[in-house]
Amino acid sequence: MNKKNLTIIISLFFVLLIISLLVVKKENSTWARGHFANKTPVIKDFPVNKIAKIALYDSKNRVELLQKDNKWIVFNKYTYPADFQKIRKFILKIKNINIAQKVIVKQDKYKELKLISPKEAKQPSDAGTVLEVYDNMGNKIAGIIFGKYHYAQEKETPTMQEAVKDGRFLKLITSSNPPVLVSDPFLDAAPLPSKWLDRTFVDLKKIKSAERLDEQGKALWKIYRKDEKSPFTIAGMHIGDMPKPQKMFEITTAFRKFDFNNILPADTKTEITGLDKPETFIYESCTGGKYKFEISMNNKKAYLKMTVLPTQKDKKSNLTNDTISDKFFEKYIYEIPRYYAKNLLIPRDELVSQEQMPTSIMGN
């Protein structure tokens, strides 16, 4: 064999090697859509109606969700109500998830797939997220380790390459079966207590008035209307004053789709929250509810405390098991997005603009 033929053979070998690697990569990026997929459930017997406790934890965080008095609570978040719909969706997803591909790998390679419990991992980076499900007698129903994410084929974009999470490696804790790959990344399997809180808050969709008070209780500004069909105006309007629609909208809808990042007990030290010197707001709804909101910005965070104020229309509430009384929210301090606070902490001058009067050709 001459030198030229040897060079050609070597070149062909590398070409075939590259083609093989591309084929493998393609198979790995389309596993959930191709011949690997099957309909075998990850957990064959998963009695959802018997579930009374869910624990999720990794090497840094832990959340415990308990069913108490026919309600779900976040046990390690001051027993605050949990988001039942989110829990229900998560449980049903576990029940219905199917195996997309079995993973044949030696046990000493589990750490590469993050399929080791935080209790057994030598390094925190080797551990996955553990799910443990119990019945009301404390018996474990199931245990799963959520491991490394599976990524879809990388897509070229003008500015960057992006990889999409389209699956995840799982391992049943109490089973000798090999790990599996499933076609869901289980992004909601988050062991953060704040992620499972019920975001329901007081119903402030029909605002009648909103005002900001100074330290002496005097109104710095007030936005109000006669009833829910009337337009809003600003108290103390002068000739030429024009309300800024965007600012008025931000204030009157601040609690329409209210959200919060975290909760703290009402007796949290003011050195943390800054609520010893709060900014105070009074909101009244067209349905008769009246609320005081105290807001502070401290340590690069914003905090809110709510108090239900008495009104002439106060009536005894007829609460069902699924209803949270407005008074309930007085027990907690809410860490809120900073932009919520910034939209409210504005002076009256920013609520109005001066209408430009036409200049006469005859002079003043």
Query: Do 78 and 171 belong together in one domain?
Result: yes
Number of domains within the chain: 2
Query: Do 280 and 182 belong together in one domain?
Result: no
* Res 183: pLDDT: 92
Last residue of a domain, one of 140, 175, 196: 196
Task: Give 267-325 pLDDT, tens digit per residue.
Answer: 999 999 999 999 999 999 998 899 999 999 998 999 999 999 987 655 443 333 345 78
Last residue of a domain, one of 171, 196, 221: 196
249: its two tokens: 């909208």
Asked whether the beta carbons of 65 and 87 are under 8 A apart, the reply is yes
Query: Do 161 and 237 belong together in one domain?
Result: no
Backbone angles phi, psi at 195, to 5 degrees: -75, -15
* Res 23: pLDDT: 42
* Res 28: pLDDT: 46
* Res 32: pLDDT: 41
Q: Print the domain residue range for 124.
A: 48-196
Query: Do 345 and 211 belong together in one domain?
Result: yes
Query: Within a domain: residue 362?
Result: no
Query: Do 217 and 330 belong together in one domain?
Result: yes
Query: Do 102 and 187 belong together in one domain?
Result: yes
Query: Within a domain: residue 176?
Result: yes
Query: Do 175 and 259 belong together in one domain?
Result: no
Query: Do 274 and 171 belong together in one domain?
Result: no
Which residues of the chain, if any, have pLDDT below 70?
A: 1-38, 153-163, 312-323, 355-364
Query: Do 184 and 54 belong together in one domain?
Result: yes
Last residue of a domain, one of 196, 224, 258: 196
Query: Do 168 and 240 belong together in one domain?
Result: no
Asked whether the beta carbons of 51 and 135 are under 8 A apart, the reply is yes
**Coil, helix or strand for 346?**
coil
Query: What letter would DSSP give residue 116?
Result: B
